[in-house]
Amino acid sequence: MAAKTLTIDGKQITAEEGETILQAATEAGIKIPTLCHLEGVYDIGACRLCLVEVTGTPKLLPACTLKVAEGMEVSTDTERLRKYRRMTLELLFAERNHVCAVCVANGHCELQTLAYSQGMEHVRYEYTFPKWNVDNTHRLFGMDHNRCILCTRCVRVCWHIEGAGTKNVSGRGGKSKIITDLNQEWGDSESCTECGKCVMSCPTGALFQKGSTVGESERDRNKLEFIVNAREKKQWNA
């Protein structure tokens, strides 16, 4: 593996060939906001929060899928990017029914944390108040579509870490929905192994352990990372 030297936010860094800008930045202690990214599963560049500016490229590119290149100059925190990030978050809050006050994830929610980090103290867009249901049919877990941001982390962990393929996406646009098997109730799913990885991966309160009270739902992401490291790097000791 050849090493590449590049500049991120004026800081000269080296990175391994094949690494993403997000990995390289994280190693260099530069924090880029992310939402659909989850350590352990592949990246899809969907949430657009990690968009960065690359000198010489007119388009903004997602740091999670952009590979490092020699001599690249990357800016991760310009005024324009901050503005877009805040707008993206506001759009998410206006899209479904995110009522922090009554959410299991309140205080442990990545969407909330990101909103604060971008200084979002209110949402300028009109809330759409769509009607979504809650699937409470599973023995152990629940899915509240009102809180779903369609990051598809649950889908990816279900397919690529657990290998069960229970979760998927149906519909399109704002009507997209995370479904279980062939769009049936979670409680009726035959493929679900009840491993709970989807719940661990959820950035908001959309997926929750039944019986958790408001503000109780802390995610154990280390378990996901441990499994992936164990498999890929043969590191069986945490």
The answer to whether residue 25 forms part of the interface with another protein (CB under 8 A) is no
Residues in contact with 51: Cβ distance below 8 Å, sequence separation at least 6, in sequence order: 60, 61, 62, 63, 81, 84, 85
The residue among 131 and 234 lying less far from another protein, judged by its C-beta, is 131
- Considering the rule CB under 8 A, would residue 62 count as an interface residue with another protein? yes
Among 174, 193, 210, 222, binds another protein (CB under 8 A): 174
Interface positions, 66-125, toward another protein (CB under 8 A) = 66-67, 83-84, 87-88, 91-95, 97, 99-103, 106-107, 112, 115-116, 119, 121-125
28 forms part of the interface with another protein (CB under 8 A):
no
User: Nearest approach, Cβ of 190 to another protein (angstroms)?
Assistant: 21
Q: Which is nearer to another protein, 60 or 195 (CB)?
A: 60
Among 139, 175, 233, 234, binds another protein (CB under 8 A): 175
DSSP string, 9-58: TTEEEEEETT-BHHHHHHHTT-----SS--TTS-----S-TTEEEETT-S
What is the residue type of 53? E
Please, which residue, 46 or 227, has the CB nearer to another protein?
A: 46
- Compare residues 101 and 238 and give the one whose CB is closer to another protein: 101
Q: Which two tokens stand for residue 73?
A: 């100059």
Strand partners, 143: 135, 207
Q: What is the CA radius of gyration of the chain?
A: 19
User: 163 in the Ramachandran plot: left (φ > 0), alpha (ψ -120 to 50) or beta?
Assistant: left
Cα angle: 165, vertex 170, 173; to 5 degrees? 135
- How many other CB atoms are there within 10 angstroms of residue 131's CB atom? 7
- Contacts with another protein, residue ranges (CB under 8 A): 44-48, 51, 59-62, 65-67, 83-84, 87-88, 91-95, 97, 99-103, 106-107, 112, 115-116, 119, 121-132, 146, 149-150, 168-169, 171-176, 215
